Amino acid sequence: MNKKKIVFLTGTRADFGKLKPLINKIEYSEKFDNYVFVTGMHTLSKYGSTYREVQKHNYKNIFVYMNQSHTTAMDIILANTIIGFSHFIKEIRPDMIIIHGDRVEALAGAIVGSLNNILVSHIEGGEISGTIDELIRHAITKLSHIHFVANEKAKERLLQMGEKKDNVYLIGSPDIDIMYSNDLPTINLAKKRYEIPFKNYSIFIYHPVTTSLGTLKHDIKKVVDAIVNSKLNYIIIYPNNDPGSDIILDEILPLELYKNVRLFPSIRFEYFLTLLKNADFIIGNSSVGVRASEIYRIPAINIGNRQKNRSDSMNIINVKNKMSDILNAIKETKHKKITSISHFGDGKSAKNFYRIISNDKIWKTEIQKQFLDIPLI
């Protein structure tokens, strides 16, 4: 097999945590030339300038592209990313573009790749969630040629969407590799790095629900009221930069004055996992609450419909944006018994990915796609 050029596109702290095990496999392989295109939320100082975390890995080919300010609308972010990424791929002429999830940056990568006849590989397609994210994820699926999915349910959904079975590969979720790793920092080191004084604490992450911006101010106020009234210790991490993030920040930033709260724009992924592993519970509407928490056997309080039907794990307590319901759920976490299980892989995603990407077969994937009908029962 000739040496192939592969570009990974990362737009957020979250997707980089998932892509990193795969990037590392390609970076240190003699079979491939690795490129990392860093954009989106990574470039915003408001959210911790997390492009620096990517640069710390010293990958040979890193390109940072600022596609927005903190007030740029999602459609403009999409357009800006298409322009910047298009210039980039025309310069390096990659053989494959690898994107993750359901962000507009990933959608831009899929559009650029498909319009330029470059193989597009999508990580974690076929999953469901609430808000605009699900629409973007499925749009990316139709623009992608190759799919690396987390589980059988996701695979089945892609087949329902008319994707070719031979182009769907089950590898698990790459972030699970890091969760199972023995190389995570100790809890003492994590607390020292982020100056966390609490013996016991919980983690709170709440993102905007872009399809319900009209009620967001009311919803986040009820959630924050519950957090305050619980009188527990919390590590709070900023929301993503979707529309409505300023509404959430207006409510959570005053919590920085509370002695039982530590507030961060971002936390390095490995350190976050250590903190999560040792938390009493996680609360909010982040996907990490319905995915990673089950492995570490901690309760997850999932608020609202942003992660609707994402997982049926028994560690999840689903509640509405109502203070009394949230407080009752917090009390419930003290008595909830959880069995460790993962619906998203066994920690061998990077190994599975590299085995597949190293096979000549995948490089013969057809660029021209056609919808495959499923016989109706």
> How far apart (Å, rounded) are the C-alpha atoms in residues 249 and 89?
35
> What's residue 48's pLDDT?
92
Sheet holding 316-319, edge to edge: 261-264, 234-237, 202-205, 282-284, 300-303, 316-319
What angle, rounded to 10 degrees, do the helices at 104-115 and 131-143 form? 20
- DSSP label at residue 116: T
> How far apart (Å, rounded) are the C-alpha atoms in residues 129 and 287?
9
CA distances from 374 to 45, 59, 101, 154 (A): 47, 43, 25, 16
> What's residue 64's pLDDT?
98
Q: Read off the tokens for 174.
A: 């790459």
3-class DSSP state of 269: helix
Per-residue pLDDT, averaged over 331-350, amounts to: 78
For 274-304, the pLDDT digits (tens) are 999 999 999 999 888 777 788 888 999 999 8
> What's residue 373's pLDDT?
92
For 131-163, the pLDDT digits (tens) are 788 999 999 999 999 999 999 999 999 999 999
Per-residue pLDDT, averaged over 47-59, amounts to: 95
Q: Read off the tokens for 199.
A: 């013996």
> How far apart (Å, rounded) are the C-alpha atoms in residues 252 and 229?
14
Please tell me which residue, 237 or 292, carries the higher pLDDT value: 237
C-beta neighbour count of 105 within 10 angstroms: 31
- DSSP label at residue 253: G
Query: At residue 377, does pLDDT exceed 60?
Result: yes
What angle, rounded to 10 degrees, do the helices at 213-230 and 323-333 form? 50
Query: Which candidate, 160, 71, 158, 145, places its Cα nearest to that of 115?
Result: 145
Tell me the one-letter amino acid at 169.
Answer: Y
The residues facing 203 across adjacent strands are 235, 282
> What's residue 34's pLDDT?
98
For 165-223, the pLDDT digits (tens) are 999 999 999 988 998 888 899 999 999 999 999 999 999 999 998 878 899 999 999 99
What is the β-pairing status of strands 96-100 and 4-10?
parallel
Query: At residue 337, does pLDDT exceed 70?
Result: no
Please tell me which residue, 292 or 76, carries the higher pLDDT value: 76
Query: At residue 375, does pLDDT exceed 90?
Result: no
Is this structure's pTM higher than 0.85? yes
Query: At residue 306, does pLDDT exceed 90?
Result: no
For 89-121, the pLDDT digits (tens) are 999 999 999 999 999 999 999 999 999 999 999
> What's residue 39's pLDDT?
98
Query: At residue 311, does pLDDT exceed 70?
Result: no
> How far apart (Å, rounded) are the C-alpha atoms in residues 239 and 202?
16
C-beta neighbour count of 121 within 10 angstroms: 27
For 2-48, the pLDDT digits (tens) are 799 999 999 999 899 999 999 999 999 999 999 999 999 999 999 99
Query: Which candidate, 246, 233, 149, places its Cα nearest to that of 197?
Result: 233
> How far apart (Å, rounded) are the C-alpha atoms in residues 10 and 42?
8
pLDDT confidence bin for 339, thresholds 50/70/90 = low
The secondary structure of 356-370 as a DSSP string is: HHTSGGGGG--SS--
> What's residue 340's pLDDT?
61
With a CB cutoff of 8 Å and minimum separation 6, the contacts of 60 are 27, 34
pLDDT confidence bin for 129, thresholds 50/70/90 = confident
For the chain, domains (ranges, CATH) are 4-179+346-364 (3.40.50.2000), 187-333 (3.40.50.2000)
State the chain's mean pLDDT as an integer. 92
Q: If phi over 0 gives left and psi between -120 and 50 gives alpha, with beta otherwise, what is residue 162? A: left
> How far apart (Å, rounded) are the C-alpha atoms in residues 289 and 206?
10
